[in-house]
Amino acid sequence: MSYETVRETDPAVADALEGERGRQNDTLAMIASENHVSEAVMEAQSSELTNKYAEGYPGERYYGGCEYADDVEELAIDRAKELWGADHVNVQPHSGSQANMGVYLGVLEPGDKILSLDLTHGGHLSHGHPANFAGQVYEVEQYKVDEETGYIDYEALHDHAEEFDPDIIVSGYSAYPREVDFERIQEAADATDAYHLADIAHITGLVAAGVHESPVGVADFVTGSTHKTIRAGRGGIIMCAEEYADDIDNAVFPGSQGGPLMHNVAGKAVGFGEALSPEFEEYAEQTVDNAIALGERLKEHGLSLVSGGTDNHLVLIDLRPSHPDTTGKDVEAALEEAGIVLNANTVPGETRSAFNPSGIRAGTPGLTTRGFGEEACREVADLIYEVVDAPHDDDVVATVSDRVDELTDEYTLYE
């Protein structure tokens, strides 16, 4: 894509856009929730559909001139149904958080009870954190992972549910490296007559490709972001059985949103189309193999991983056992200096703070999109280790930075 026209009319914005493209090309994006979409997805997202009001749903809009808006929304819905096997799909949520809001608004009343995973144990703000609307409107209690093993403690979750009697149990996480047993959580929901919302924001692509167990057909509601492992551009999605279709659709529009971002719905349609290809299945498998390779090599260097490893696209490093005086923020800053962009993250049993936590989270979706295989990911693990071990050593950071330059030149991204 060219920014020629913006360059002519608005050089300041063009500088920022080109700067961002250069940044993505020249650094390794290892933030586990990020990815790089195709040029086709970006073209669709920058289309004239950004001009179109299409309040309502295909075939029943509140505005005229919606025939092409209908086309892209129907394509996005049909492809999503094929990818995830859901009966009903709403592709209008502006993001994953809006998708969760749609479910809460669709089936809960203010004051109803949510049981979800603690944010510092891998949950998400939209699962009922006090700073989020969900934490203010609903009564929230949270379950935890077992601090010894790093795995969800399903027994404790079940007991907690029986005690708290929630209206909805939320599964699906932001920083959980292991396979989620959605059926086990459904048992707890069944036992307490609660809805089950499976938020697969991070693992949408892994579920679509069949490399992670699917909650579709198990949980009542499945939500996700469309810009993470599924690589379909920024946005959200809700899936459910036909019986909840009206509740969900009404909660998204008019319940919590106005006109859908039809250009982003077009991006979803294109990205979902790409994800239906056999190459996407290989991509998802490689993403997991790469995370496993990354994690194993980090462990060989003596670093400690929460849960001891990974089943998905991310690893969570607990710095405390190997580097007790180094914080996640120290490492995040030094790695960014070296061209490896990831984030500091809390770890189960956090002893520092959410702002300056003891862990770092690293994901492989972006690297895998660039063509990285396991050998290259092992080398990235070596580079991460060197910086973790000497975050304030400028020579080490400079050497790693040179190697990152070579890797980004070898594994090219955008023209």
Ligand X SMILES: *Cc1c(COP(=O)(O)O)cnc(C)c1O
172, 177, 215, 295: which one binds ligand X (CB under 6 A):
172
The enclosing H or E element of 360 equals strand 359-363
Min dist CB 369 to ligand X, Å, is 17
| DSSP state, residue 112 | -
Of the candidate spans 78-86, 106-114, 169-177, 245-253, the one that interacts with ligand X by CB under 6 A turns out to be 169-177
Site for ligand X in 183-212 (CB under 6 A): 199, 201-202
Whole-number Cα distances in Å, 142 to 113, 178, 215, 347: 11, 19, 20, 16
State which residue, 347 or 407, has the beta carbon closest to ligand X.
347
Residue 134: which of 97, 188, 185 has the closest Cα? Answer: 97
Q: Is 124 in the site for ligand X (CB under 6 A)?
A: yes
By CB under 6 A, the count of residues binding ligand X is 14
Q: How far is the CB of 3 from ligand X (least distance, A)?
A: 25
**Residue whose structure tokens are 């529009």:** 253
126 binds ligand X (CB under 6 A): yes
* Region binding ligand X by CB under 6 A among candidate stretches 17-25, 67-75, 89-97, 247-255: 89-97
Phi and psi at residue 324, in whole multiples of 5°? Answer: -60, -20
For ligand X, the closer CB: 199 or 330: 199
3-state SS, residue 349? coil
Q: Does 97 bind ligand X (CB under 6 A)?
A: yes
Our finding on whether 229 is near ligand X (CB under 6 A) is no
> Which single residue is written with the structure tokens 């077009």?
266
Write the CB contacts of 1 (distance below 8 Å, at least 6 apart in sequence). 39, 42, 43, 46, 414
- Whichever of 199 and 332 has its CB closer to ligand X, that residue is 199
Q: How far is the CB of 77 from ligand X (least distance, A)?
A: 19
Confirm or reject binding of residue 121 to ligand X (CB under 6 A).
no
* Nearest in space to 154 (alpha carbons), one of 183, 131, 124, 111: 183
Is position 215 an interface residue for ligand X (rule: CB under 6 A)?
no
Closer of 12 and 131 to ligand X (Cβ) = 131
Nearest to ligand X of 33, 364 (CB atom): 33
Stretch that binds ligand X, among 94-102, 240-248, 381-389, 391-399 (CB under 6 A): 94-102
DSSP state of 5: H
Do the beta carbons of residue 259 and residue 345 sit within 8 Å? Answer: no
Residues 20-59 that bind ligand X (CB under 6 A): 33
Nearest approach, Cβ of residue 175 and ligand X (Å): 8
Determine whether 21 is exposed, middle or buried from the number of CB atoms within 10 Å of its CB (0-12, 13-18, 19+). middle
Is 118 a binding residue for ligand X by CB under 6 A? The answer is no
**Positions in the binding site for ligand X (CB under 6 A):** 33, 95-97, 124, 126, 172-174, 199, 201-202, 225, 236
